Chain A
Amino acid sequence: MTKKYDTPLLDELEKGPFPSFVTEMKKAAAKNAMAADELGLLEKSFRDKVTYWKHGGIVGVRGYGGGVIGRYSELADEFPNVAHFHTVRVNQPAGLFYTSETMRFFCDLWDKYGSGLTNFHGSTGDIILLGTVTDNLEPLATILSMNGFDLGGSGSAMRTPSCCVGPARCEWSMIDTLDITYDLTQEFQDELHRPAFPYKYKIKVVGCPIDCNAAIARADCSIIGTWKGPIEIDQDRVRDYAKKGMNIQEEIVNLCPGKCITWDGNNLTINNDDCRHCMHCIAKLAGALKPTPPFGATILIGAKAPFVIGATLSWVVVPFMEMKPPYQEIKDLHRKWWEWWSEYGKNRERIGELILRRGMREFLEISELEPAPEMVKEPRRDPFFFWKEGDLEGKPWEKWLK
C-alpha cells in the first residue's frame, strides 16, 4: 500500500529513544486500510487539538451485554475506513504470561479481522484489539472461543479481574494471585458477560502489601495478601547488606512505621507484635527477611476514580481471610454484596459510593461481619451516632468491666 496521508506532526513522535506508538501505527498502516485511516485521523486531531470520535456506540455479540466498545468517527467521509472502529476486549491469561504461539494466533486473527493495532494491555488487564467493524464481531468471538479465549468485561458488569505476577515469579506472594484471579473470573462469568449491576465492579488481587497491580486504588474489591506469623531473619544476610554499604539504621530501622525494629550493628531484632505489615524491611532486605504463615489476605472495598463523589481508595472490610480453593468465603461475600448493591444502588453508583451513602453498619450487617478497629483509621470525632433497638439490651459494657 502506498502512503495515504502526510503526518508531519506525528512524524515528530518517531524521534527519541522511547519506542514510538507512531511507528507502530505506521507499520500497521502499511498493510491495513483501517490503520492507515486511523493514522490520518490522528494527525488531524493533532492539528486541530480535539478528539474526532463520536459519542458512545453500542455494539456487541449475541448472548453477551459487554466486551466490545463501539466507536465511530465523526469524520467518516474523510476517513471512511474508520467509520467503525470498535475495540474488542479479550480476557487476558492471569499474570499476563504468553507463548509465542499464542501471540502469533492473535496476530493472524487481528490482521484478518481488524486493524492490526492492539494494546497490551488495557488498564483493567484485558488484551485490547483496537479497531474493527460491526460485521466482524460475531466471527471474532467465535474464533476466539474455538481457541479457548473469551471476551472481557465492559459496561455495568463485573469487569475482567487481574493480578500481580504473584507466586509465578515473586518470593513475597502470600496468596496464589493467579489462581484466585482465574477462579473468580470463571465463577462469575455470568456477572462479567451480562451487565446486571448499577455500575461497573472491579476485582484486583495482589500477593502482598507492595501492591504491584494498584489493587487498592483501581478495584472495587482489593484482595491484598498478608501474613500473621513473625518475620524470619537471616542475620548473616542482614550483615552482608550492612557490609555492602547499607545504612541499616537509617534505611530500615528509622523508616519502619511500627518503630519495631532495632539494630545493634550485628543483630536485627523485630518486635513482631508492633509490625504493621508494610513490607518495607522485607523488600529492602530481599533474601534476608521472610514473612511466615499463617498467610491470607486483607479484603478492602470501594476504590474508584473521582466521579461522582471524589476519588476513593479501598478500605478494610475483612482484616484477614484465609485464601484457599475454592475461595468460598470471598465468593459468598460477593454474592451478598451484589444483591444488596443491585437492590439499593442508584444508576451509575459504585458500590463504594453506596456504602458511604447508606453507612458501613448496613454494609457490614448484610455482609454478616462484626465491626472491628482494623476497619478504621480512627473512630469518629463527633457524638452524633445512631442506636438500634437491641444495641444496649445485652448491656455490652458489663462484660468488659467485669
Chain B
Amino acid sequence: MPYVIPDVVDVKQRKTDIGPPHYKNFLPPVIQKNYGDWKTHEILTPGLMVHIANSGDKIWTVRVASPRLLSTDTLREIADIADKYCDGYFRFTTRNNLEFLVSDESKVNPLIEELKAKKYMIGGIGPRVSNVVHTQGWIHCHSAAVDASALVKCLLDDLADYFTTKETPNKVRLAVACCTNMCGAVHCSDIAIVGIHTKIPRIEHERFKDLCELPTTMAACPTAAIIPDPAKKSIKLKEEKCMYCGNCFSVCPALPIKDAENDGVAIVVGGKVGNLRTPPKFSKLAVPYLPNNPPRWPEVTKAVRKIFDAYVAGAKKHERVGEWIDRIGWEKFFDVTGIPFTWQHIDDWTYTFETLRTTAQIKWVKK
C-alpha cells in the first residue's frame, strides 16, 4: 500500500467511519498461509521462540523490551532492522514489547547479533519478568500522583536479569498506574504499583461555580464525603470520610489534590488474569505507602525486590505470586517479606466482611 502525505491537505477528503485497516495487510506471508493452523511452539532462548505449523512451516520470533514511549527515530530504526531480517514484518505485544518476525532461519542469529550490538534488551519469553504495563504519569496526565515511565525504568533496571536470562517459578507480571483510576492492569498483576494521595483535596470555591456540576461531583465520591454548600454555590467536604481517591478532581477541576510532599505509591500483590490452575484474582494491598523520590524511587525498587525475592525463594514451580500467597497464608507473607502489617491493610470500604478471617486456621509466625 503506497502511503501519501500531501503538502496541502484538503480536509474535505477526509473519510469517516472507515475503522482500522484489515489486519491481513500486515501479516507475514508464512503467517497468512498458516493462519489458525499452528501445531506447537518452542521457546529456544529467553528471547527467541519458534512456532511450527501443521504444514511444517516455521516462524521465529525475537522479542525485545520497549519503553513503550518511542521516538520516530527509534521507530525508523526498528523498520530498518525489520527490512533487513524480517521482510519488513514486526509486531508489538499486549505488554508493549517488540517482536521481530523472521521467516528465514538463517537470518535469526544475525538479527540477534545486530540487536545485541545496538543494545536492545532481548528476552521476556517464558517464566520470567516481562515488560511493565504502565500509564502516562507526569508525561501527559493531569491526575498522576507519581510518574509511570520512571518507575518502570527503575524496576526493570533492577530486575533486568529476570527479563534476559534467569527464570522465576512462573511469570511475574508487573504493572504501574499513576493514580487510583488504575488504567492498565494494576488490579490484576503479580506485583503492581499505584500512585496515591494521602491528603484531602483543596476546594476552590470561586472556581467551583464556573467549572463544576454539583450532582456529578457528589456522585463521583465513593464514600459520599461531598455535600452541597448552597451559600457558597460550592461543596463541603466531610473530611473524616475522604480517603483521597481524587475521583472528585477527575470530574471537577476546582478540587485539586496533588501534593508534592504527601503523594506517593502503594504496592499491591497477588493478582492474575489467566485461568490456569486457579481462577483470576485481584491484587491486594502489601505496602500502603512509600514516598515519591525521583528520579530513582529507591524505596519502591527495594520494596518490590524484597517481595520478588521472597516469592522466588518460596514459591513452587508454576505458582504465581497470588497462588504462592494462597498456599503459605497472609500471616506468613508478611513474615517472610518483613512488611509491617498496619491499619491500612484491613479493608474498611466495600468488601470488609469478605476479607476478614472467619476461621481459627492460623499459622503461628510469631512464636
Contacts and interface: CB of A to CB of B under 8 A. Distances in A.
Interface stretch (A108-116, A317-325, A334-342): A108-116
A56 B222 contact: no
Interface in B107-162: 120-121, 133, 135, 137-144, 147, 149-150, 152-154, 156-157, 160
Given A53-B141, A145-B16, 9 more contacts: A9-B295, A28-B73, A100-B83, A108-B3, A146-B6, A217-B185, A251-B318, A306-B245, A348-B220
Nearest to A314: B280
A130 interface: yes
22 contacts: A9-B294, A17-B164, A18-B65, A21-B149, A21-B153, A24-B71, A35-B71, A51-B141, A55-B142, A55-B253, A96-B94, A98-B26, A104-B76, A106-B75, A118-B75, A120-B68, A142-B14, A143-B4, A146-B14, A171-B40, A185-B19, A305-B181
Contacts of B27: 95, 97, 168
A211 B273 contact: yes
Given A24-B67, A55-B142, A91 B19 contact: yes
Q: How large is the interface on A (under 10, 10 to 19, 20 to 34, 35 or more residues)?
A: 35 or more
Contacts of B215: 347
A308 B220 contact: yes
A101 interface: yes
A116 B71 contact: yes
Nearest to B292: A49
Interface in A11-51: 12-13, 15-22, 24-25, 27-28, 35, 38, 42, 45-51
B36 A101 contact: no
B35 interface: yes
Contacts of A211: 273-275, 280
A255 B315 CA distance: 14
B274 A209 contact: yes
A212 interface: yes
A146 B73 CA distance: 24
Interface stretch (A147-155, A262-270, A368-376, A394-402): A147-155
A210 B40 CA distance: 16
A297 interface: no
B142 A51 contact: yes
Contact of B38 (A171, A185, A216): A171
A138 B11 CA distance: 7
Nearest to B94: A213
Interface stretch (A282-290, A357-365, A384-392): A282-290
Interface in B1-21: 1, 3-6, 9-11, 13-21
B185 A278 contact: no
B188 A217 contact: yes
B289 interface: no
Contacts of A149: 20-21
A278 B180 contact: no
Given A18-B153, A143-B5, A121 B160 contact: no
B219 interface: yes
Interface in B37-72: 37-42, 51, 59, 61, 65-72
A299 interface: no
A98 B27 CA distance: 8
A12 to B, nearest CB: 5
A179 B70 CA distance: 28
Nearest to B76: A107
Given A18-B160, A20-B153, A45-B138, A255 B20 contact: no
Contacts of B184: 123, 218
Interface string B257-294: 01111010000000101111110101000000000101
A245 B14 CA distance: 60
A305 B26 contact: no
A42 B27 CA distance: 37
B249 interface: yes
B342 interface: no
A52 B21 CA distance: 36
Given A42-B138, A63-B16, A139-B11, A18 B157 contact: yes
A120 B92 contact: yes
A311 B23 contact: no
Please report whether the interface of chain B is mostly helix, strand, loop or mixed according to DSSP.
loop
Contact of B245 (A42, A101, A286, A307): A307
Contacts of A308: 219-222, 247
Given A56-B253, A218-B185, A284-B318, A17 B160 contact: yes
B147 to A, nearest CB: 7
Nearest to A116: B72
The 3 tightest CB contacts between A and B, nearest first, are: A16-B157, A287-B40, A55-B253
A210 B75 CA distance: 30
B38 A169 contact: yes
B311 interface: no
A162 B92 CA distance: 13
B235 interface: no
A189 B17 contact: yes
A56 B277 contact: no
B96 interface: yes
Nearest to A188: B19
A150 B153 contact: no
Contacts of B344: none
A160 B241 CA distance: 36
A173 interface: yes
Given A12-B296, A95-B91, A251-B317, A348 B277 contact: no
B216 A348 contact: yes
Nearest to A26: B71
A58 to B, nearest CB: 12
Contact of B4 (A55, A147, A251): A147
